[in-house]
Amino acid sequence: MRASTHDLAALSATHRLVLRLVWTLLALFAGMFQPAIAADRPHIVYIVADDLGWKDVGFHGSDIRTPNIDQLAKTGAQLNQFYAQPMCTPTRAALMTGRYPFRYGLQTVVILSGQTHGLDTEEWLLPQALKEAGYQTAIIGKWHLGHGDRKFWPRQRGFDFQYGPLIGEIDYFTHEQHKVLDWYLNNKPLKEKGYSTTLLGNAAVRLIDTHDKAKPLYLYLTFNAPHTPYQAPEADLNRYRHIADPARRAYAASISAMDDQIGRVVAALDRRGMRDNTLIVFQSDNGGVRNAMFAGEGDLSKTKIPNDNGPYRDGKGSLYEGGTRVAALANWPGRIAPGTQVDGMMHVVDMYPTLARLAGASTTRSKPLDGLDVWATIAQGQPSPRTEVVYNIEPFRAGIRQGDWKLVWRTPLPESAELFDIAKDPGEKTDLAAGQPDKVLAMKRRANELAAQQAKPLFLQAEFGAMRQRLHLPPALPGEEASFNEEN
């Protein structure tokens, strides 16, 4: 039986309709398995200041003018118990890995300009996880996680775009350290004029202005301000003519210059219609300097250190609150209520899992994380899931907080252990160790448990090797190196 022309036409029309339905369903199902569109996942602008004192922002009561940072704090969440590592390389490593630096050897001091080690390439970093999830990733500013070998550089660690210095300290105008240029654009040295803070702001604004808004953006904007050397343009210095001390004047001016650039970045996000879907996080990498030994590679022995950590004891390099509790905030319009005060404990390692979940990024390729997802604490006021903070674990000292109790333990003989009730005594003025021997013993056990997991500090190994070279000794045998690290 042969079909009529009418039957064939009807079949063809039906066939076309079925095909359209099939393709529609396929498209819908395909969409279900695609990464969430940018409207569902935030752009992330993560801003890090360098050696900023806890009190040296307006929202903590400073006379230093930071109106743009203050506005972000006012319209977002102030993170009142946000902890970093005592120095900058360890903090930056903790942010990138979601893991405490003692696990991979970056717990002690920083990577100096003459050293060649870096962040272990077996660590799966936050930009790698975000890039895998479809983010455009960019670092504008200081890296400080390895410069001596290109395998440690940002472009090799998950960043699509890189601009700025690789080491820890540069001249703001020449972009040099020890007369060697340290200013790069996508792995290539770049010689250009300008104040580093302004140049970094310019680059961030250009990136935002040219960004494809359909793709989520992760911008790691990491200023070298207000780290030494204390420098600022004349116009910024003139804002603080009333400050007699030249170091404090330049320090204050460099902070206000950084604040200006942060304001420009926020304005660029507004201009591009990206602001309402952008999470901005701001923090210092450690507390402000109080001891010239930790100020930088230059000689500041005759300089009056200008940083102010407010009520907190000591500063950068120490395990006390002044070295580790840092100025921090989070801001996302419509997702974080204005004026939120977050009092729960959180540590910089928590940012990795928190941001990864918001971004729809997998953490399965990372090593076991120390960080916890604290988004509900930031955005909904829920109690922090964090009950312990590890300030640091090193061969010669440890700092641990469990609940309100904090132990600072120095192990070189004669050892000393201090115990503080941080809730009642945030300034760490009263040592309670003598009256709480059981608590001290329990927290020492915890420190030893963590110390058994630590990698040997790469800084000490580098210094040991350099010392042998200076003394014209042969390279250390494995046993000798182990013995040195155990003793130090």
Task: Return d(Cα 278, Cα 270) in angstroms, integer.
Answer: 10
Q: Which residue has the higher pLDDT, 92 or 34?
A: 92
Q: Is 458 helix (H, G, I), strand (E, B) or coil?
A: helix
In this predicted structure, the answer to whether residue 422 has a pLDDT above a threshold of 60 is yes
User: 44 in helix, strand or coil?
Assistant: strand
Which residues on adjacent β-strands are paired with residue 342? 79
To 5 degrees, how large is the angle CA 76–CA 81–CA 87? 110
Per-residue pLDDT at 466? 74
| Residue 345 DSSP SS3 | coil
Q: Which CATH number fits domain 395-451: 3.90.79.10, 3.30.1120.10, 3.90.320.10, 3.40.50.2300?
A: 3.30.1120.10
What pLDDT is recorded for position 370?
Answer: 98
Q: What contacts 125, CB < 8 A, 6 or more positions away? A: 96, 97, 119, 157, 158
Report cis status (omega within 30 of 0) of the bond before 226.
yes
Average pLDDT, the chain: 91
As its CATH architecture, domain 43-386 has: 3-Layer(aba) Sandwich (3.40)
The average pLDDT across 114-135 equals 98
Calpha distance 109→117 (Å, rounded): 13
Q: How far apart (Å, rounded) are the C-alpha atoms in residues 335 and 43?
A: 13
Q: What is the pTM of this model?
A: 0.89
* pLDDT over 90 at 144, yes or no: yes
Instruction: Measure Cα distances from 389 to 74, 104, 375 in Å.
Output: 27, 18, 17
Question: Looking at residue 218, what DSSP letter applies?
Answer: E
Question: What residues act catalytically?
Answer: 88, 144
Lowest mean pLDDT across 73-77, 368-372, 423-427, 479-483 = 479-483
Torsion angle, alpha carbons of 94, 99, 105, 106, to 10: 10
Tell me, what's the pLDDT at 7?
A: 42
User: Does residue 23 have a pLDDT over 90?
Assistant: no
What is residue 38's predicted lDDT score, i.e. its pLDDT?
37
Question: From CA 376, how far away is CA 392, in angstroms rounded?
Answer: 26
Q: Which residues 6+ apart lie within 8 Å of 466 measured at CB?
A: 114
For residue 479, pLDDT beyond 70: no
Interatomic CA distance for residues 101 and 90, integer angstroms:
6
11 pLDDT above the threshold of 80: no
Lowest mean pLDDT among 73-82, 291-300, 447-456: 291-300
Mean pLDDT of 404-430: 97
Beta carbons within 8 Å of 242's beta carbon, 6+ residues apart? none
What's the pLDDT tens digit per position in 226-277?
Answer: 999 999 999 999 999 999 999 999 999 999 999 999 999 999 999 999 999 9
Q: Answer with the residue of higher pLDDT: 464 or 436.
A: 436
The CA distances from residue 82 to 77, 307, 345, in Å, are 12, 18, 6
pLDDT at 468 over 80: no
pLDDT tens readout for residues 86-106: 999 999 999 999 999 999 999
Q: Which of 329, 331, 427, 327 is nearest to 64 (CA)?
A: 327
